[in-house]
Structure 1
Amino acid sequence: MTYHLVRFLSFIACLLPGSFCDAFGRILALALWPFLPARRKKLAVSQVAMCLGTDEEESKRIAKESAVRFGPMLFEVLRFPVIMRRMADYVEIEGAGHLREVLSQGKGAVIATGHTGNWELMGGALSQAGFPIIGVAMRQRDAAMDRFINEYRRLVGMHIIYKNDVREMFRMMKEGWVVGLLADQDTNRHDGIVLDFLGRPTNCVPGPATMARSAGIGIIPGYITRKKDGTHKIILHAPIEVPRTKDKRADIRAAQQAVNRVLEQHIREHPEEWFWLHDRWKSLRKES
């Protein structure tokens, strides 16, 4: 039932003008904002202030905008069948040459991105631009929503692999695929490494650096941001080389820390677009 309802909403959204869906998505998100748990909103505000040094008023504004943006983002995903027809007009790609350069080595590529901007749209835009993108997905608790989002990811050209299928990722990388990894959320302490992020010790995922080191290629930090006219721009940075010394763990730490630095700069430039509602320092707080 849920699956068919969401498909119906997508059908309606595709019939409506994009500007209307964008405005309606924002209005809907603003209406839902008061119903978000106060604890979660307080956490987001405190993280903004802690990381960016903003005063209370500005921290509240950034935290709210960070949540409200999910309204327009949702409608963009619902409108994938329409957007994909003119993706090149809707999403500009800066730095595509960096990705082509890495792919020219014949070892695949790794893009380290984050929960900033419309990351779902980013994968689709790169796929539509001709890059063989693997979207690494987390299985949704709701099977209907899992089916829907993965169908739409495939619709715009992505190949979807669940995050526990690491062997398949490595196999496809060797065939020249691009693995896109979200590398900005807290993971379990067993799998994570503690690095500096926004001025704080933070539990980080080592996946991008681990995969890039194994393949002998650099990591490409890449993010998407929304422009004032409602279109988007993907920014692909120059590859970060991963050292290959006898100390594998130190190599991974060095490369992943460098990726963090690029993400930090992006967040400072576009603070409203990052997912501040996520409890980024949860695992380390529990240890203290």
Structure 2
Amino acid sequence: MAKPKPPFLTRAGQYTANLILSAPLKLALCLPYRPRVWLMGAMMSRVLAPLLGYRKRVRDNLDLVWADLPEADKRRLARQVPENFGRTLVEIYSGAQLKDHLADTKPEGPGVAALEQAHAEGRPVILVSGHFGNHDAVRATVSRDFSPVGALYRPLDNSYFNEHWEAAIESVAEPAFARGRRGLAQMVKYLRSGNIIALLVDQHVSDGADLTFFGHPARTTLSAAEMALKYNALVLPVFGVRQPDGYGFRAIIQDEIPHGSAEDMAQAMNDALEAMVRQHPEQWFWVHRRWKQRGKKKAG
């Protein structure tokens, strides 16, 4: 068994990695808003994605769950998915300017009325989404038009990068809760007080429920559903859909997910995201290792 690296070397490695990974962001942030968004998308798609293996991972996932998608579409998505990720990343780092850019974007969709009613009644609300479009576009607009939306985020292993990543998340909307015992306790207290929280539910969870996504087994968290049932929270799927110009968004709030079993509610969250991804496949982060239990069934 290899010995753990001394703390100094670990810190030095993280510091160096942070310098390298932050350089494209810092370069883009020197530019006005629209050029920076374009540049970060281009750099992620054309330079960083091939180096990081993102294109291959996009293709592998598409080959698994969307095998009959035309080859030309798979090649296109291998370029467009990292581009959307790069744009989203620099938009989050441009918190104040992102919110200015969203000034004319209003929450829309059949779930807006339910959100308005819950907000008026002081009922807890859980907005659920995935790494699609720019999920923080919805958090920013709902925070502006209703009340601050608390977000749960996973602290990054690189402490140097995590420091400015946390600040970026909070620049879009506060509060932000770090995943962990303390952060989860703070988030639950915030929710129980009748507030709104936002959760991303589209990543593999080793101890999650055996549900499906794109017709394949996908371990899925039940935490959002379980909190909704425990605290009588309204659950609304939401999506920040990037518009064809690459800069604008629609902040879509869908119909509420009715209370039932936690498994049924979580599957409904998967289904809502899948339907949106099928409409805009270039906007979901196909780089995730979402299907670690590879089933035999293939969905078209």
TM-score of Structure 1 vs Structure 2, range by shorter chain: 0.7 to 0.9
Deviations 1:87-120 (A, max 9, x none): 323x442133332223334231111110111223
Gaps of 5+ in 2: 1-14, 296-300
What is the match of residue 146 of structure 1?
Answer: 162
Q: 2:199 aligns with which of 166, 181, 184?
A: 181
Q: Spell out the pairing of 1:151-170 with structure 2 (5 A cutoff).
A: 151-164=167-180, 165-170=183-188
1:235 aligns with 2:235: no
Of residues 160-169 and 270-279 in structure 1, the stretch that sits farther from structure 2 once superposed is 160-169
Amino-acid identity (%)? 24
Q: CA RMSD in A?
A: 2.6
Q: Which of residues 137, 141, 146 is equivalent to 1:125?
A: 141
Correspondence for 1:41 among 55, 64, 71:
55
Give the Cα–Cα distance (whole angstroms) in 2 for the partners of residues 56 and 88 of structure 1: 39
Query: Higher mean Cα deviation, 18-27 or 200-209?
Result: 18-27
Unaligned runs of 5+ in 1: 244-250
Q: Displacement, 1:8?
A: 11
Counterpart-to-counterpart distance in 1, 2:224 and 2:115: 15
CA distance in 1 between counterparts of 2:237 and 2:73 reads: 28
Asked if the contact 2:28–2:39 (Cα under 8 Å) also holds between the matched residues in 1, the reply is no
State the partner residue of 1:113: 129
User: Structure 2 matches for 1:196-235, cutoff 5 A?
Assistant: 196-229=212-245, 230-235=247-252
Give the Cα separation in 1 of the matches to 2:83 and 2:25.
19
The question of 1:24 aligning with 2:39 is answered yes
TM-superposition CA deviations, 1:159-179 (whole Å, max 9, x none): 011222333222111212111
Q: State the shift of 1:285 in Å.
A: 4.0
Residue-pair matches, total = 271
Aligned with 2:79 (options 29, 53, 64): 64
Cα distance change, pair 131–8 in 1 and its aligned pair in 2 (3 A): farther
> Does the 8 A contact of 1:45 with 1:59 survive in 2?
yes
Q: TM-score, normalised by structure 1?
A: 0.84
Structure 2 residue 72 is matched with structure 1 residue 54: no
For normalisation by structure 2, the TM-score amounts to: 0.81
DSSP 3-state at the match of 2:47: helix
Tell me which stretches of 4 or more aligned residues in structure 1 moved more than 4 Å. 5-10, 12-15
